[in-house]
Amino acid sequence: MVDGSASLDRVRARQGWRYRAAVAGRVVLAAFGGYALAALATAFLSLTLPMVRSEAVATATLLSFAILAGAVIWVFAARTLLRAAIGLGIPMALVGVGLWVALGLVAAGPPA
């Protein structure tokens, strides 16, 4: 808990740039990676959820911030930065491909 963190912080401060770089890496990954995943998921769900498009957009946008929060928690909970990146990258790739397919279907227009 918060109690012991002061002395631990001091120990950690001595670990130098390696630790700082790892923290900075996670912050960047959480902010940009997390947002990218949430944005892709919002666009994907807006096109694919089985409801009227206004309803799909409202649902996807409502969910997007939970997805973003979950992604950030994951990035800081993962044991290493690499694991965090992989854990974020795989869903991002899946949703990205799904979005690409969905966009192609939308461009082709609904079946007559």
Residues binding other proteins (CB under 8 A):
1-3, 5-6, 8-9, 22-23, 26, 38-40, 42-47, 51-62, 64-66, 68-69, 72-73, 76-77, 79, 99, 102-103
Minimum distance from CB of 68 to other proteins (Å)? 7
Nearer to other proteins, 43 or 88 (CB): 43
Helix (H) or strand (E) holding 16: none
Minimum distance from CB of 23 to other proteins (Å)? 6
Distance CA 54, CA 58 (A): 6
Tokens 């700082």 belong to which residue? Answer: 20
Distance CA 37, CA 47 (A): 16
Kindly give, in sequence order, each residue whose CB lies less than 8 Å from that of residue 59, ignoring residues fewer than 6 positions away: 45, 49, 51
Distance CA 111, CA 24 (A): 48
Minimum distance from CB of 66 to other proteins (Å)? 8
Nearer to other proteins, 5 or 94 (CB): 5
Minimum distance from CB of 110 to other proteins (Å)? 13
